[in-house]
A and B are shown apart, each in its own frame.
Chain A
């Protein structure tokens, strides 16, 4: 006779307000059911009542660990609907900002994962120290540390400052060194490896069937990355590898993210070398913008947590309808499948490797 326990919505490691109803026999999970909606704000409806460029602040609060990624997805959707071309230099600036954001987000993941596994705050504090340096860099190019609202139609608010390339390269050198130290710290710990290897395995077929995206999908051996599959901005001009791992377990999901930090660093270095001179400034925010050219558009973006897709039905002055495909929502739906049969302690390790942000799940 299994015991039914209620985990959350207030629990130390549910990453926000997620409620899990778990049936456990002793310590083993026999059934798991996520209950969501505690953070539902009705963003999709709210957007319908706002002018196009009034909505980016709402979009940033979807994924508060990587706000710029969601901001970019929304602004790109609006640009597609209004038929606005992005300036060449602005593309590079956006790419650099997005990759910096990816590094920050994956650092957050690494720290939070160790927290979920019982290493209280050591890794978390170290990763936050480095993430802080990324936020400083982002503050130099966007003016803000956390919620940027820096994307404008056709460009960005602020161009890169003159000493940005040096600061950025210096940080990336530092980051690569630190990353090696972190890998040593975690992967040479037999307890850590024991809890990562072979836990929460998602085969590539299962991953495809469940519709997971991003690092979770790539860790199951499917080399799908929107940056390569449907290149946007200048991703097709730059060189990077899609990081995959065939094991599909916790370790693979963690490894893929660590490798992606390295790839992002490579992308930023290359983009900083290639960035053309010119103007990156976007259009100023006006309540009355240009009228929409395309009635319906769908834009997908590779966010740190997976593929975010935005479908918009455009009206002349504001969106008629916006639908957001949240990568977190789909990844969360794979959790019951992955956690079944595992120990209660592993449930949180698996959830940690999914890297959920509940604000994005509930929208």
Chain B
């Protein structure tokens, strides 16, 4: 009976993988395997977030003709650690008129969504928690909850700037979600599968989807920038307009979590682009997971440079941009992919 439960649950592929690997089928062992894998992925996210945070500071400083962090550790590598310790040591202030439960839950929800999604991603041919047949679909269903979590966080603190930020969050969701999903549909069409592992193996031999559908890459990258709240789409935490948007009333450890969420989202977005367009773990010599993270990091570098190069868009312009540019482009991409792959 337990076996049938597992088979019908999402975890069935993990179970079979574990079974194949160990030759035993104990539930306790499956759970242990999942927990160990989750902890390993969390550590990987933390390392990426840390290095990304440092590289972002350094690269932006170089563009600004500054030095960036230099004092804490060699080349300021420990500066972010010092900042995290400082934030964790600070008092956590919850505003009087906020919803105390939601204020505590929203950052956790916001951290849980991208972390869970990274857990679902196959990191290499062998390193994957699960091999879902409809993996791509599930990821983009769950990703749509991210702006809603921002919405909850914005309304929870009871700050008026956070309120405006929450409203903007929903408006942005309307503008970029549809083109993004249409590009995903084009990818599924090209690969003939919703399974992430088959999508990557469909790109073998340098037939990366980035070459096959450059328009799709553009639309997806822009939509991902919006999803990650990165400039020029950082309207939710627009620092020169809304102070810090939904983050305005977060302090101490919760603010540290919010910063971590930011980097986790960048990691998720870069991983997705690397997998869907740049062949994921495919590459010579080095192990697959190294290739994947290398590709993700190169995409993250573009995200940093864009931050240093452009002013923020206005909310009504984002809506117009989404519906008059991204949506037709994504449809054009779908038609081109149909002609290229299906006929």
Q: Report chain A residues within 8 Å CB of B313.
A: 191, 194-195
A118 at the interface (CB under 8 A from B): yes
Contact assessment for B241 and A13 in the assembled complex, using a CB-CB cutoff below 8 Å: yes
A4–B221 Cα distance when bound, in Å, is 36
Judge whether B164 and A117 touch: CB under 8 Å: no
Q: Which of B60, B231, B310, B315 contacts A27 (CB 8 A)?
A: B315
Residues in B with CB closer than 8 Å to A125 are: 64-66
Q: A118, A122, A189: which has the most chain B beta carbons within 10 Å?
A: A118
B105 touches A (CB below 8 Å): no
Nearest neighbor of A352 in chain B, beta-carbon distance: B240
Q: Which of A24, A189, A343, A344 has the most CB of B within 10 A?
A: A344
A283 lies within 8 A of chain B by Cβ: no
- In the bound complex, CA of A118 to CA of B317 (Å): 15
Whether B265 sits at the interface, judged by CB under 8 Å, is no
Please state if B315 and A345 are interface contacts (CB–CB under 8 Å).
yes
* Beta-carbon contact of A3 and B160 below 8 Å: yes
Kindly list chain A residues whose C-beta atoms are within 8 Å of the C-beta of B315: 27, 343, 345
A282 to chain B, nearest CB (A): 38
Tell whether B199 is near chain A: CB-to-CB under 8 Å. Answer: no
- Hey, which chain B residues are within 8 Å of A24, CB to CB? 164
Contact residues, B146-167 vs A (CB, 8 A): 160-161, 163-164, 167
Which residues of A have CB within 8 Å of B163?
3
User: For residues 289 through 317 of chain A, which have their beta carbon under 8 Å from a beta carbon of chain B?
Assistant: none
Interface string of A112-155 (1 = CB under 8 A from B): 00111111111001100100000000000000000000000000
Closest to A10 in B: B243
In the bound assembly, the distance between CA atoms of A119 and B317 in angstroms comes to 17
The reply to whether B310 and A11 form a contact with Cβ atoms under 8 Å apart is: no
Interface size class of A (residues with CB under 8 A): 20 to 34
A26 contacts B by Cβ under 8 Å: yes
Query: Quick check: A345 and B63 within 8 Å, CB to CB?
Result: no
Interface string of B59-71 (1 = CB under 8 A from A): 0100111100000
Q: Find A12's partner among B63, B240, B310 (CB 8 Å cutoff).
A: B240
B310 touches A189 (CB 8 A): yes
Inter-chain contact B308/A345, CB cutoff 8 Å: no
**A5→B159 CA distance, assembly (Å):** 10
- List B contacts of A115 (CB < 8 A): 240
Contact with B along A183-213 (1 / 0, CB 8 A): 0000001011011000000000000000000
* Per-residue interface assignment for chain B, residues 303 to 328, with 1 indicating a CB less than 8 Å from any chain A CB and 0 otherwise: 00001111111111100000000000
Q: Give bound CA distance, A122 to B232, whole Å.
A: 14
Q: Measured between alpha carbons, how far is A346 from B314 in the docked complex, in Å?
A: 8
Chain A neighbourhood of B64, CB < 8 A = 121-122, 125-126
Q: How far is the CA of A346 from the CA of B65 in the complex (A)?
A: 28
Q: Which residue of B lies closest to A347 (CB)?
A: B241
Taking a contact as CB atoms closer than 8 A, the residue among A6, A126, A345 that contacts B238 in the complex is A345
Rounded to whole Å, the gap between the CB of A5 and the closest CB of chain B is 5
Q: Does any Cβ of B come within 8 Å of A348's Cβ?
A: yes
Residues of A within 8 A of B164 (CB): 3, 5, 24, 26-27, 344
Alpha-carbon separation in the docked complex, A131 to B34 (Å): 57
Complex Cα spacing A168 to B241, Å: 38
Task: Provide the B217-260 mask, 1 if CB < 8 A to any CB of A, else 0.
Answer: 00000000000000110110011111100000000000000000
Chain A, 1-59, CB within 8 A of any chain B CB: 3, 5-6, 11-13, 24, 26-27
| Cβ B239 vs Cβ A12 within 8 A | yes
- Chain A residues with CB under 8 Å of B309's CB are 119, 122, 189
Please tell me if B58 contacts chain A, counting CB pairs below 8 Å: no
Determine the chain B residues whose CB is within 8 A of the CB of A11 once the complex forms: 243
- Report the bound CA distance from A325 to B312 in whole Å: 35
Whether A191 touches B311, Cβ cut-off 8 Å, given contacts A3-B163, A125-B64, A343-B316, is yes
User: A122-B64, A125-B65 given as contacts; is B235 within 8 A of A345 (CB)?
Assistant: yes
Nearest-neighbour CB distance to chain B for A241, whole angstroms, equals 29
Contact with B along A256-295 (1 / 0, CB 8 A): 0000000000000000000000000000000000000000
Chain A residues contacting B231 (CB-CB under 8 Å) are 118-120
Asked if A343 meets B240 with Cβ closer than 8 Å, knowing A122-B63, A191-B232, the reply is no
Question: Are A117 and B63 touching (Cβ within 8 A)?
Answer: no
Once bound together, how far apart are the Cα atoms of A192 and B317, in whole Å? 12
For the complex, give the distance between the alpha carbons of A121 and B309 in Å: 10
Taking CB atoms, residues of chain A closer than 8 Å to B317 are 191, 194-195
- Would you call B168 an interface residue if the criterion is a C-beta within 8 Å of the partner chain's C-beta atoms? yes
Determine whether the beta carbon of B316 is less than 8 Å from that of A118: no
CB of B154 to closest CB in A, whole Å: 13
Interface residues of B (CB under 8 A from A): 60, 63-66, 160-161, 163-164, 167-168, 231-232, 234-235, 238-243, 307-317
Chain A residues within 8 Å of B, Cβ to Cβ: 3, 5-6, 11-13, 24, 26-27, 114-122, 125-126, 129, 189, 191-192, 194-195, 343-348
Known A119-B231, A189-B310; 11 more pairs at CB < 8 Å? A3-B164, A12-B240, A13-B241, A117-B240, A118-B240, A118-B241, A120-B231, A120-B240, A125-B65, A343-B315, A348-B241
Q: 9 closest A-B pairs (Cβ-Cβ)?
A: A118-B312, A125-B64, A117-B311, A13-B240, A119-B311, A5-B160, A122-B308, A345-B314, A118-B311
Can you spell out 28 A-B residue pairs with CB atoms less than 8 angstroms apart?
A3-B160, A3-B164, A5-B161, A11-B243, A12-B239, A12-B240, A117-B311, A118-B231, A118-B238, A119-B231, A119-B309, A119-B310, A120-B231, A122-B60, A122-B63, A126-B64, A126-B65, A129-B65, A191-B232, A191-B312, A191-B317, A194-B313, A194-B314, A343-B316, A344-B164, A345-B241, A348-B240, A348-B241
